[in-house]
Structure formats: C-alpha cells, structure tokens
Amino acid sequence: MKATYKKYILNFKRPSGTSRGVLTQKETWFLFLEENGKVGIGECGILRSLSIDDRPDYEEKLKWVCEHIYLGEKQILENLLAFPSIQFGVEQAFLSLKSSNKFELFPSPFTQKQTSIPINGLIWMGEESFMKSQIKEKIEAGFSCIKMKIGAIDFDTEIKLLKAIRKEFSATDIELRVDANGGFSPSEALEKLKILSELDLHSIEQPIKQHQIAEMAKLCEHTPLPIALDEELIGVFSITQKLELLHAIKPQYIILKPSLIGGIQGSNQWINLAEELNIGWWLTSALESNVGLNAISQFTYTLQNLMPQGLGTGSLYTNNIESPLTVCDGAIFYDLHKTWDTSLIF
C-alpha cells in the first residue's frame, strides 16, 4: 500500500463572517491510498485557529501517516488522537479504498437517491442588508430550518432581524437556531438568552467561549433557551473526559463536527454518551470540501437522526470538487445524474 497527501486551498465565493473573524479561504489536505490498482481518498479538514490539531507539525504528521501506512488503519488511528482531522481523513481513505466506488463509503438509500437528509440553511454574519438577503434567499429556497450566526455585530440589530423573521413565520413554519461561536461574555450571556428565548428559537450554539466549565454549567442549568455545545467538545479525547464534561455541564444538545472531534470513531463515542444522558445531538460539517462533506453526509444518514443537520456548506466555494451532492428544498441528496470531477485534486 502507498499513501500520499496534497494540500488544497478552497476559495470562498464571498467573505463569510463569524464571531472569530471573516473567512476568505479554507485550507484542507487530501490523503490518497493506493493498493492493487485501487485508489482511496480522504479529506483532512483542518480549521486553522479552531482545530486542536492546528499545530506547526501538522504536515509532519501527515508525512508520518504516509510513511507508516503499512501499520494498518487501527494502529495508525491510535497514533492520531491529538490530530482529529487527520483521524477522519484516514478513516475516509480506508473506507474509500475498500469500496467498489471510492466515493460511496456507506452504501444506503441516501447514496442511491431514494431519500434525502433535512438540513439547516446557514446565515453568515455581515451587514444587516447582507444578512437580510441571505434570510430571504434561504426561505425562498424552501428551508424550514435556518441557523443564524450571531455575536459579532450589534446584538439589537440581530434581534431585529430575528423578530422580522418571526413576524412573518411562526416557530411551526420555520425553526430558528442561532450560533454565537462563543461571542457572549459570561456576565451578559443569561440576559441575552432571555431576550432570545422570547423569539421561539430552537437552540443556541456555544453562547460563551469554551473551557469555562462552571459558567457554562450554570448557563445550561438556568437557561430559558436550549444550549448546544460545539467548540466545547474540541480537544476532549478520552471517553472518561467526554463523560466528565457532559456530566459537569449537562447541556441540552451537543453538535458533532467529525473533523474536529476524531472522525467517525470520535463522533460515535459522543453520540453513545449523549444518548445515555438524554442529551440531544446533531451533526454538521466544518467547512470541508465536497469530499469531506460527502463522507459526513453518508455517515449522518446511517445514524437516522431526523433533526435538520448542518450539511449545507457545499456551495460556499468557487473551486469545490464537483460531486453528486445537491441541496434542494431544505434537504441534501445524492443526484445520480451528476458525477464526481476530481481533476483539481488528482
């Protein structure tokens, strides 16, 4: 078996704002496995400044994987606990290599175009007019669940935007989720959650920055609005640590980004623990290309979670990898009339 890797820069169609800054490009790495004339591909979707494996030795670790691929998948993964995005890339590459179709990692009714996965429409931060136009666009596109990033512009403006949606669409018409990306301070968070709760929202993701366990636990105990942990899960490696975190904070939901939490194996661990504790969960992409998004979507379908998932990021880039993944009427599905075009990466 031979393994190689390649760096690839994804370019956003338009700058995309979060409370951590504005994104114009996204770095990613593709891992290729070759054996007996077959090729497998996986994506190591690092998010600089957020991923726990944003380290100077990231590429060095990819080289290590390629040089030691003879060890096999299990042993390789055991040596990648501190590199969750590479873990996920390795899992994908081995699944891809073993499959008759390198992009059909989890054969199911989803990959056979018999069904789809409901997803949320994502509203990026920006000027009020830009956010309004995005909201209008998502509603017209048939989304029944909208996720709005908040916490970077004026809070009153964000409330005004949410009120405008609620004035026209009730909670039964459109489910509204908000994502603060840790943008609130602990001292102001509860008051802001009270204001947001008056708008019949589904939930808020990561209201305060991670690693403030006591403050987050207090928020989850007293919140009038369900809280979903997102960044809080990053860098929590062992099952013991995961269980301790969930017991300490007692969130209403957790959000799973396989590239940030150890791929398929890491996601399954979080899901099993959450279900034992009656904590809800859903999956979302972490701005991967269509290669990684394909793997997450297929994996997500196998879990049979009926909530809208966060898988609508495939149209963000000018130079994404063309794929059968298609978004229509608020759902993602596999269009078998479309084919993969990997000429940009092979």
User: What pLDDT is recorded for position 75?
Assistant: 98
User: What pLDDT is recorded for position 153?
Assistant: 73
16: nearest Cα among 119, 123, 121, 120: 123
Between the alpha carbon of residue 64 and those of residues 31, 45, 74, 76, 331, the distances in Å are 12, 17, 15, 9, 39
pLDDT band at 154 (very low <50, low <70, confident <90, very high): confident
* Share of the chain residues as helix, strand and coil, in percent rounded to the nearest 5: 35, 25, 40
- Written in H, E and C, the secondary structure of 128-145 is HHHHHHHHHHHHHCCCCE
The whole-angstrom separation of Cα 202 and Cα 179 is 11
Inter-residue long-range contacts of 190-194, CB under 8 Å, 24+ positions, other chains counted: 190/219, 190/222, 190/223, 192/155, 193/219, 193/223, 193/224, 193/225, 193/227, 194/224
266: nearest Cα among 279, 251, 283, 250: 283
89: nearest Cα among 65, 54, 57: 65
Question: pLDDT higher for 257 or 135?
Answer: 257
For the chain, state the CA radius of gyration: 20
User: What pLDDT is recorded for position 152?
Assistant: 67
The whole-angstrom separation of Cα 292 and Cα 308 is 19
Question: What are the tokens at 65?
Answer: 């994987």
User: What pLDDT is recorded for position 129?
Assistant: 86
Are 309 and 117 contacting, i.e. CB atoms less than 8 angstroms apart? yes
User: What φ, ψ does residue 227 adopt, rounded to 5°?
Assistant: -110, 135
pLDDT band at 17 (very low <50, low <70, confident <90, very high): low
User: What pLDDT is recorded for position 105?
Assistant: 98
The whole-angstrom separation of Cα 169 and Cα 174 is 6
CATH topology of domain 117-334: TIM Barrel (3.20.20)
**Active-site option among 26, 147, 192, 257:** 257
User: What pLDDT is recorded for position 2?
Assistant: 98
The question of whether 167 is a catalytic residue gets the answer no
User: What pLDDT is recorded for position 19?
Assistant: 57
User: What pLDDT is recorded for position 14?
Assistant: 85
Q: According to CATH, where is 3.30.390.10 located in the chain?
A: 2-98
User: What φ, ψ does residue 204 adopt, rounded to 5°?
Assistant: -130, 135
Which of these CATH numbers, 1.10.150.20, 3.30.390.10, 3.30.160.340, 3.40.50.720, describes 2-98? 3.30.390.10
Question: What are the tokens at 326?
Answer: 């298609």
- What would the pLDDT profile of 72-101 be if each residue is shown by its tens digit? 999 999 999 999 999 999 999 999 999 999
Mean pLDDT over residues 298-314, rounded? 96
Mean pLDDT over residues 159-185, rounded? 92
**Active-site option among 147, 149, 192, 209:** 149
pLDDT for 21 beyond 90: no
- Computed over every residue of the chain, the mean pLDDT equals 95
The question of whether 149 is a catalytic residue gets the answer yes
Q: According to CATH, where is 3.20.20.120 located in the chain?
A: 117-334
Non-local (6+) Cβ contacts of 21 within 8 A are 49
